[in-house]
Amino acid sequence: MLYKYNNKIFNYINYFTIACIIPIGYFAPLGEWLLLSLISIVTLLNFTIMKKKTNYNCFLIFISSILVILFSYYWTINSNRTLEVIGPISGIIFAIYISLNITSTNKIKNMDNLIGIPMILTSICIFLDLFFNSEIRSNLAILAGDQPTSESGNYSRGIIILTIMMPLSVAMYLNEKKYNLAIVIFTLATVVIILGPNNSSKIALICALLSSLLIYFFGPRAFLCFGILSITIILFLPVLSTKVFPVITNIDKNNSYYIPWQSIPAGGSIIHRLLVWEYVGSEIYKKPLLGHGVGTSRLIGQNIILNAPNSDIEIKGGIPLHPHNNFLQIWLELGIVGIIIITLIWIKVIKFGIRIRKNSYILGTGICSSIVTIFVICNLSFGVFQAWWMSIIAFLFLISFQSSKYEK
Contacts for 272 with CB less than 8 Å, ≥ 6 apart: 264, 313, 315
Determine the average pLDDT of the residues in 173-195. 93
pLDDT score at 265: 42
**Cβ(248)–Cβ(241) below 8 Å:** no
3-state secondary structure of 305: strand
- The 8 Å CB, 24+ separation contacts for 348-356 are 348/58, 348/61, 349/397, 350/223, 350/224, 350/226, 350/227, 350/230, 350/231, 352/397, 352/400, 353/223, 353/227, 354/220, 354/223, 354/224, 354/227, 356/400, 356/404, 356/407
- Give residue 37's pLDDT band: very low, low, confident or very high (50, 70, 90): confident
CA 227 to chain centre: 17
pLDDT score at 139: 60
- The predicted model scores a pTM of 0.87
Contacts for 9 with CB less than 8 Å, ≥ 6 apart: none
CA-nearest of 143, 175, 139, 235 to 362 is 175
pLDDT score at 365: 95
- Residue environment code for 257-285, b if the CB has 16+ CB neighbours within 10 A, otherwise e: eeeeeeebbbbbbbbbbbbbbbbbbebbe
Distance between first and last Cα of the chain: 32
pLDDT score at 309: 56
Q: What is the pLDDT of residues 363-398, one digit of tens each?
A: 999 999 999 999 999 998 888 998 899 999 999 998
CA 233 to chain centre: 17
Amino acid of residue 117:
I
Tell me how crowded residue 143 is: count the other CB atoms within 10 A of its CB: 8
Of 15-19, 39-43, 358-362, the range with the lowest mean pLDDT is 39-43
3-state secondary structure of 261: coil
**Residue 281 CA: distances (Å) to CA of 66, 78, 210, 328, 396:** 24, 19, 29, 8, 30
**Cβ(313)–Cβ(275) below 8 Å:** yes
| Average of per-residue pLDDT values in the chain | 82
pLDDT over 50 at 251, yes or no? no
pLDDT over 70 at 137, yes or no? no
DSSP 54: P
pLDDT score at 152: 46
pLDDT score at 110: 82
Q: What is the pLDDT of residues 223-236, one digit of tens each?
A: 999 999 999 999 99
pLDDT score at 278: 85
pLDDT over 90 at 100, yes or no? no
- Residue environment code for 14-26, b if the CB has 16+ CB neighbours within 10 A, otherwise e: bbebbbbbbbbbb
- Could you state, in order of their start, the residue ranges of all structural domains in the chain? 2-228+326-406
Distance, in Å, from the CA atom of 393 to the CA atom of 391, rounded to the nearest integer, reads 5
